[in-house]
Amino acid sequence: MSSHTKKELELIIAGLNSKLEGLEKAMEPLKELVSKVTNLETLLKASKEKCDGLTTALEAKDKQVDALLLKLNAVEQHNRSWSVRINGVHLTGEEETNVRTVKEKIYEAVLKPILEGAREMGDLDEVPDAHSLIEHAHVLPAKDNAIKPIIARFTYREYRSLVFRHKKAFAPRERTPASNDSRPGRFRYPLFEDLTKMTFAKMRALATHPRVEACWSSGGQLRFKMKDSQTVHRVNNLLATVEAILPTI
């Protein structure tokens, strides 16, 4: 190898070494960046594990809250098991504020005829007077000047049971058209169980669903029938959506 060629090769190697040194210096920030990315990945992994743990804990808390809500609703519904909801009894503004008058009006119009029927059937020895029968009564608000519903609380649950047992046969009804005498007329004063807000809302949601034929309550428990079936279904979870409650097609 000539001295000229050797010198050129040395220059080339020197140039490459210089570039390598420059490249190593340029890589220093990248090394720091890689370290930072690695640390960030570690932090993100730890954060995800913590987040997953919190999510699991939150789901457990949600289940506890749902269970407490259902338990509270059950307690409230039991407390309402002495009461009925009566629709259709007209009261003046002055009468609405007088508990004694409200009790006497619903007694004469709605409850007394049913209990007289219970006595005729041998299920009641004597029909109590209004104030022995009803512990308290109050009027609920209504929209658009509609007749306001009334909540009446019985002194004994046995009286309430008798009312529901005999209302179909003895509750006052509207007259049926002459062309349809075979069917009983509609109840003049519809009478229902006093349901909690949660239970009542679910009943309305089910009753208005296009696949549901009818929805009603018995002992605070919701039941319903589908339009294509005579099977009676029970609602076991009031917090479930209507679609989740309905049987699958």
Sequence-distant (6+) residues with CB within 8 A of 84 are 151, 152, 154, 160, 163, 164, 191, 192, 193, 194
How crowded is the C-beta side of 219, counted as CA atoms within 13 Å? Answer: 3
pLDDT score recorded for residue 14: 73
pLDDT score recorded for residue 181: 59
Strand order in the sheet with 134-139: 134-139, 150-154, 83-86, 191-193
- Amino acid in position 30: L
CA–CA separation, 167 and 171 (whole Å): 5
Residue identified by tokens 């909801």 is 85
Closest CA to 247 of 216, 209, 218: 209
Q: Per-10-residue mean pLDDT for the chain, 249 residues long?
A: 69 76 72 78 87 90 94 95 96 94 97 97 96 96 91 96 96 75 82 95 96 94 94 95 91
Residue identified by tokens 């608000």 is 141
Q: Are 150 and 97 in contact (CB under 8 A)?
A: no
pLDDT score recorded for residue 4: 60
- Pairing status of strand 232-234 against strand 221-226: antiparallel
Reduced to 3 states (helix: H, G, I; strand: E, B; else coil), residue 213 is strand
pTM of the full predicted structure?
0.72
